Amino acid sequence: MERFYTTTAIDYVNGAPHIGHAYEKILTDVIYRHFSQRCEDAYFLTGTDEHGIKIQKTSAAQGITPKELCDINAQKFQDCWKALDVNYSQFIRTTDKEHEEVVQKIFKKLVDKGDIYKNSYTGLYCSGCEAFLSEKDLTEDGLCPDHLKKPEVVSEENYFFKLTKYKDAIIKHIKTHPDFIVPAFRANEVLNQLENIEDISVSRAKSNVSWGIPVLGDDEQVIYVWIDALSNYITALGYNPDGESGEKFNKYWPATVQVIGKDILKFHSIYWIAILMALELPLPEHILAHGWITIDQTKMSKSLGNVISPESILKAFNLEHPDALRYYMASAAPCGKDGNYSDEDFKEKVNAHIANSMGNLLNRTLSMLVKYFDGDIKPEFKVQSELFDKALETVKAVKHHFDYFEVQEASQKIIELVDITNKYVTDNAPWTLAKEGQMDKCGEVLTNVLEVMCVISSLIYPFCPNIAQAMAEQLSYDLSIKLDDLSCNNLKPGHLIDKEDIKPVFLRMDSELADKGKGK
């Protein structure tokens, strides 16, 4: 794999980021970091969606301009991703001048091509979704199923995109590319939505929505979200609809995987694909639709007061870095399914997997190496073992799961390897071997375990970059080794570590040291 390009949905900035936003960004960052270990050139785009009626109304209610609101909240998202070590390559804002100018050119190109036309329209508009809904989209009570509010009847003269023109081509693409929509069971859902698809409004009357990108040559209209927000995936790369696109666009497009929530799959697998077809651009290789995160098995809701800030979790548990939360969130749900967050489950899972199983395994093995061999790796210790075979099998299994964006499943394989290695230590009892004077055998067992811990540090890195780095430092291991080059031949004969340099890579979240300073 020469290059890898991944994107997230861009977040709407009428509020601050919550744990649902964090789930998508952490999930994407883990995928990005994994593939960075497999290819030479990876790129990760995220950003914020900053136009529309909700921004206009929220800013007015707060007595500030729409741009001021966008600036305040876009910074909150960037600060949150920094706190979570989300290592994106580029952060795009749809109020960026470069983005706005290219969006206007895209709109004009599609008008000139005849794929965008002007027409009068009366429809049901949900301001929460910022979308027109049909009767079949509503609940039995005539409410938006996501916001449980009755949409308003809106009559406007708008520009429309000929979505129906590309219906058959989209159906054909989905059917001939079974791995296009991930997970595969979502494909039938999209095909069903395509059956009664209609042309879509791609502008709003300025008299109703003033906060938007103006349509070139028509001062009464602003460009709507489908052309504006969705285009960020290519405008960020320097796409030019009027001529030669930038180097980044030529290098990275089409996207390898676009990560979105299941609630906006229709917009990405139908609307976005049709727009790309109209622009005669290659389509993304995969669209990954993840599930939602519930809180204590209940859907997040402002009215219920259960909307959680990811930064508040880091603070509540006094975590010095976000690895525990990253691991928990990334492994929260099978591919495409819903996941759940609870404080108790978070603490129990992270303590069991990261502190007890993985961290303690490294700590006690290094401690025995110091106790019995003064921290030295002797040349005669190294032997090939079944444990090595299992470690390299795990590397293949983890790569396979990531190929299908099965992040939780990949994490399970890593922890399985940790458990197998712990069992190897118990079965071979190096403390007993030392007591019996079988020092070469004792050294071989410890060396085998530490070799596998090098592999584990590489595999866990996308989930827990700080913990992986701490492990690698104690093992004198190079984390930059590509996954295709991983072996169980990493430790060099000689002195590895001193007693004072052995430190827990992650403290149990209920330990005295981890809790120190809480409540102060």
Residues annotated as catalytic are 18, 21, 126, 129, 144, 147, 299, 302
Q: With residue 435 as reference, give the H or E element that holds it.
A: helix 430-435
Q: What is the DSSP letter of 379?
A: G
Question: Are 46 and 7 contacting, i.e. CB atoms less than 8 angstroms apart?
Answer: yes
For residue 496, give Cα distances in angstroms to 195, 202, 404: 64, 63, 38
Reduced to 3 states, what is the DSSP secondary structure of residue 186?
helix
For residue 83, give Cα distances in angstroms to 177, 321, 518: 37, 8, 19
Distance, CA of 94 to CA of 236 (rounded, Å): 10
Q: Give the position of tokens 């508009």.
A: 125
191-230: b or e for each residue (b if 16 or more CB lie within 10 Å)?
A: beebeebebbbbbbebeebebbbbbeeeeebbbbbbbbbb
Query: Which amino acid is located at 18 in the chain?
Result: H
Distance, CA of 319 to CA of 506 (rounded, Å): 10
Distance, CA of 437 to CA of 449 (rounded, Å): 20
Instruction: Please calculate the CA angle 111-116-117 and round it to the nearest 5 degrees.
Output: 100
Q: Under 8 Å CB-to-CB from 4, ≥6 apart: which residues?
A: 32, 35, 36, 38, 39, 41, 42, 43, 256
